[in-house]
């Protein structure tokens, strides 16, 4: 990801941790394994749903304005390749991770910031 919100949180019983995701945090460092992550599938699916809804609404607004968007097959191919690259990258960085539906422990957000970097 390139734009995300990095949240520094306090986890009950295990100290500080970081959560990443925009708008919902869906990935965090795994406390017991360096380089491993916990991926929260429920929040990840909600994020994808929000992104899809935003794109749909933007396209409907453009359509309502009367603008015609012409697409070239090369643009579609390039967009597909970029999307596949991001999916592949996500699969690589989460290969040793645990996938959970949602977080099992309560957290308290101490600090959050908008980040324009690749996390985690």
Q: What is the pTM of this model?
A: 0.78
What is the number of other CB atoms lying within 10 angstroms of the CB of residue 94?
16
> What are the extents of the domains in the chain?
4-115
Instruction: Quickly state the pLDDT bin for 5 (edges 50, 70, 90).
Output: confident
Question: Has residue 100 got a pLDDT over 80?
Answer: yes
DSSP 28-83: EE-TTSTT-EEEEHHHHHHHHHHHHHHHHHHHHHHHHTT------HHHHHHHHHHH
Q: What is the pLDDT of residues 46-80, one digit of tens each?
A: 999 999 999 999 989 998 998 888 889 999 999 99
């Amino acid at each position: 990801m390139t734009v995300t919100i990095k949240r520094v949180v306090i986890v009950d019983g295990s100290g500080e941790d970081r959560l990443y995701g925009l708008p919902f945090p869906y990935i965090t460092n795994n406390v017991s394994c360096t380089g491993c992550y916990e991926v929260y599938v429920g929040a990840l699916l909600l994020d994808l749903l929000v992104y899809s809804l935003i794109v749909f609404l933007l396209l409907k607004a453009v359509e309502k304005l009367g603008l015609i968007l012409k697409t070239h097959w090369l643009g579609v191919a390039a967009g597909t390749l970029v999307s596949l690259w991001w999916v592949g990258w996500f699969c690589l960085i989460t290969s040793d991770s645990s996938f959970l539906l949602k977080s099992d422990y309560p957290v308290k957000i101490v600090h959050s910031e908008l980040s324009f970097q690749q996390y985690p």
